[in-house]
Structure 1
């Protein structure tokens, strides 16, 4: 089984790129859960350290059919955004439950007590972004700076 540091990465002066592999292989990654006395669970890989991210924590996740978050949790300072890529599930925040599926986006404030589960018959794939609440000063493309038209070099598949 793999841990977050086990996926190939490449770093340049202004970028990092990682290759986790196909979504179907996410169950090969394991995560040690402190709230479960360090028990390892499959299907979660954090990418912050491997990609040298400085402003966001990010994880790729796969819940097989019937799998659920085994405990409620909240955060002290960070809000989370869940981006559901496929599958069907249920999400609960402060006791209020709602359905999620491909294309659902859920934001949870730091103090919101949350849990989620796969309620479908196929794996549920999703990405979680964790960011310090209130830290984003600009919205949309306000922080963008035009740099000219790109001249594309030949890129080898890989």
Structure 2
């Protein structure tokens, strides 16, 4: 299985990673708390301090074979491609490209891909009620000109 750590760049105020194409997510797997292929957590590689993010692919006709909930973290599921079903507290929601679902920590959840194509999604976890302001309210303008490097002189930084 491929490691993401060899494709991470860091600077004073950033970490960046090249995860690869969506179809390549099956190269990643986790073993704890359960074994799952097609799941890549990036919190540690990017030094995230207030959220966990995972990139996921669920192959056709597969399902998460258990229910789970969280102690403190809410989760945001963002579906990019494919179709399936998501179950929260016994209620079933049809999912497809563009579906976004937030689940509170106590929400008992599971999901499945009952289609013939892969289901691609991102999950973001953060402690419930931990953001005192929204992203726009938290932003501060910086009086600095915007300058981009020229593509001709090869100064663009790539992975």
Is the shorter-chain TM-score for this pair beyond 0.5, marking a shared fold?
yes
Unaligned runs of 5+ in 1: none
Aligned with residue 149 of structure 2, among 149, 153, 156: 153
Distance 1:63 1:81 in 2: 17
- Taking a change above 3 Å as real, the CA distance of residues 67 and 6 of structure 1, as seen in their structure-2 partners, is farther
Per the normalisation by structure 2, the TM-score is 0.91
Give the superposition deviation at 1:156: 5.1
Give the superposition deviation at 1:139: 1.3
Question: Which residue in the other structure is 1:86 paired with?
Answer: 81
SS, match of residue 57 in structure 2: strand
Question: Which residue in the other structure is 2:21 paired with?
Answer: 22
Question: Which residue in the other structure is 1:47 paired with?
Answer: 42
Give the superposition deviation at 1:153: 1.7
- Tell me the alpha carbon deviations over residues 31-60 of structure 1, each in whole angstroms, 9 at most, x when there is no partner: 1132x4xxx221000000000000100000
Any runs of at least 4 consecutive aligned residues in structure 1 with deviations exceeding 3 A, and if so which? Answer: none
Report which of the two structures shows the higher radius of gyration computed on alpha carbons.
Answer: 2
- Taking a change above 3 Å as real, the CA distance of residues 2 and 156 of structure 1, as seen in their structure-2 partners, is closer
Task: Report how many aligned residue pairs link the two structures.
Answer: 153
Question: Which residue in the other structure is 1:64 paired with?
Answer: 59
Unaligned runs of 5+ in 2: 151-155
Asked if 1:123 corresponds to 2:123, the answer is no
Aligned-CA RMSD value:
1.4
- Taking a change above 3 Å as real, the CA distance of residues 91 and 82 of structure 1, as seen in their structure-2 partners, is same
Asked if 1:136 corresponds to 2:135, the answer is no
